Amino acid sequence: MRKRSLWLLPAFMSSIVLLSGCFEGEQSLEEMDPPQNVQTVDDLDNTGEDTNNVEEATTEETKETENDKESSEGTSETVNRELYLLDPNGMVVSQTLPLPMDETKEVAKQTLEYLVKDGPVSNILPNGFQAVLPAGTNINGLNLQEDGSLVVDLSKEFKDYQPENEQKVIQAMTFTLTQFDSVERIKLRIDGVDQDVMPVNGTPIGNGFSRADGINLHVGDVNDLMNSQAVTVYYPAQQSEHYYYVPVTTPIDASEDIYESVINKVVEGPSYELSGLLDVFRNGVQLTEEPKIEDGILSITFNESIFNDVENKTISDTVLNSIVLSLTEHEDVKSVQVQVEGTEQVFNENGEVFSEPVTREDISQPSGI
């Protein structure tokens, strides 16, 4: 099922006031696709000590989940989970990593434990990546409420993060836990006491924190915030010979076509302020027609500058992946058909023709770089 963020201007505006372009939205989530190769869990029974409001899985659902795990892993001993970690440039980035099967079904609690520094994640951390929760943080319990809020009760050690990392901490927790279908937002307790603000730098979280609040927030040079809306676009970064894709929430002009604006933002490349992110588009890349969407397929047509090899009519993987990931953030877009003006067939780097629209699931992202 697909959880989508619904970007609203009030959230965008109030967040700017909070912290140099940090979004303080309190909107609920719409549905978005679970990340590729991440095992979706529809039930969170026994996620923590408080379980009264957690629905139990049916026998059939449990069997299907176990079968999916075995087929995706080739073994029932581990299961892929999506962890949001800090990359070598300090950006919050998803990595899909194999976690041990939790026989108690405390899957959300287990996943959160893998965000703790010097914890069990230490043995599987990708090179250069870091966990975000302070060392020694204990997960006291989780309580899933009827409105989709997951109340996370942490020990006092959680307060030991640096003020400048506060947004990264709450973003990593939120995006990690909302991979589970039933979780829409998270709320925070520390040793049983509800928190209206984050404990170090005072980020408001009284109504919960969701994906609608954004990730790796960056305002850029947008001046007219009243006529802006926030979107999340993806820029590539490189670790050794591997590429991965960093989500950045940023404002665009609300008066323009949203798909065209997103494409322009991606083609424009990351701001110089976003250290470590790559600009992979050639000069002169532009759309030659307005984007058209029909039955979930968004068709976009570029000029020949989109090619990394004009003679062989190929588009680089990093260019294609950045476009598809950014556009499929939007609920209406299920897949993207990339075309080039005056060209009948377009190929990827492996010489394969783009005969079908590209989905988010078609994009291979690294699992443990």
DSSP SS3 for 160: helix
Counting the structural domains of the chain, the total is: 2
Q: Residue 31: is its pLDDT beyond 80?
A: no
Q: Is residue 368 part of a domain?
A: no
pTM of the entire structure? Answer: 0.81
Q: Closest Cα partner for 23 from 247, 333, 271?
A: 247
Tell me, yes or no, whether 134 and 271 share the same domain.
no
* Section 239-257 average pLDDT: 92
Q: Is residue 369 part of a domain?
A: no
Can you point out the beta strands (E) in the chain? 3-5, 29-31, 78-86, 92-100, 139-144, 149-154, 185-190, 193-194, 209-210, 228-239, 242-253, 292-294, 297-302, 335-340, 358-359
pLDDT digits (tens, 9 = 90+) for 320-363: 999 999 999 999 999 999 999 999 999 999 999 998 999 999 98
Residue 155: other Cβ atoms inside 10 A = 14
Q: Residue 103: is its pLDDT beyond 70?
A: yes
Q: What is the pLDDT of residue 365?
A: 56
* Section 124-128 average pLDDT: 93
Q: Residue 76: is its pLDDT beyond 60?
A: no
Tell me, yes or no, whether 131 and 43 share the same domain.
yes
Tell me, yes or no, whether 31 and 105 share the same domain.
yes
Tell me, yes or no, whether 51 and 172 share the same domain.
yes
DSSP SS3 for 105: coil
Tell me, yes or no, whether 330 and 229 share the same domain.
yes
| CB-neighbour burial class of residue 284 (10 A; exposed 0-12, middle 13-18, buried 19+) | exposed
| pLDDT band at residue 133 using 50, 70 and 90 as cut-offs | very high
Q: Is residue 183 part of a domain?
A: yes
Tell me, yes or no, whether 281 and 235 share the same domain.
yes
DSSP SS3 for 209: strand
b/e 241-253 (16+ beta carbons within 10 angstroms → b): eebbbbbbbbbbe
* Section 147-165 average pLDDT: 97
Give the end of a domain, one of 162, 186, 213: 213
Average pLDDT in the chain: 83
HSE value, Cβ hemisphere, 13 Å, CA-based, for 20: 8
* Section 154-183 average pLDDT: 97
Q: What is the pLDDT of residue 4?
A: 53
Q: Is residue 220 part of a domain?
A: no
Tell me, yes or no, whether 200 and 82 share the same domain.
yes
Q: What is the DSSP secondary structure assignment for residue 195, as one 8-state letter?
A: -
The Cα–Cα gap between 172 and 152 comes to 13
> Residue 194: which residues within 8 A CB-CB, separation 6 or more?
187, 188
| CB-neighbour burial class of residue 294 (10 A; exposed 0-12, middle 13-18, buried 19+) | exposed
Q: Please, are residues 57 and 42 in contact by the beta-carbon 8 Å criterion?
A: yes
Q: Residue 66: is its pLDDT beyond 50?
A: no
| pLDDT band at residue 222 using 50, 70 and 90 as cut-offs | low
Q: Is residue 234 part of a domain?
A: yes
Tell me, yes or no, whether 77 and 185 share the same domain.
yes
| CB-neighbour burial class of residue 101 (10 A; exposed 0-12, middle 13-18, buried 19+) | middle
The Cα–Cα gap between 349 and 9 comes to 39
Q: Please, are residues 256 and 224 in contact by the beta-carbon 8 Å criterion?
A: no
Specify the pairing of strand 209-210 against strand 185-190: antiparallel
Tell me, yes or no, whether 198 and 67 share the same domain.
yes
Tell me, yes or no, whether 97 and 71 share the same domain.
yes
Domain range for 202:
3-213
Tell me, yes or no, whether 205 and 288 share the same domain.
no
The Cα–Cα gap between 161 and 204 comes to 17
Q: What is the pLDDT of residue 363?
A: 85
DSSP SS3 for 15: helix
Q: Is residue 328 part of a domain?
A: yes
Tell me, yes or no, whether 271 and 144 share the same domain.
no
Give the end of a domain, one of 187, 213, 239: 213
Give the end of a domain, one of 159, 178, 213: 213
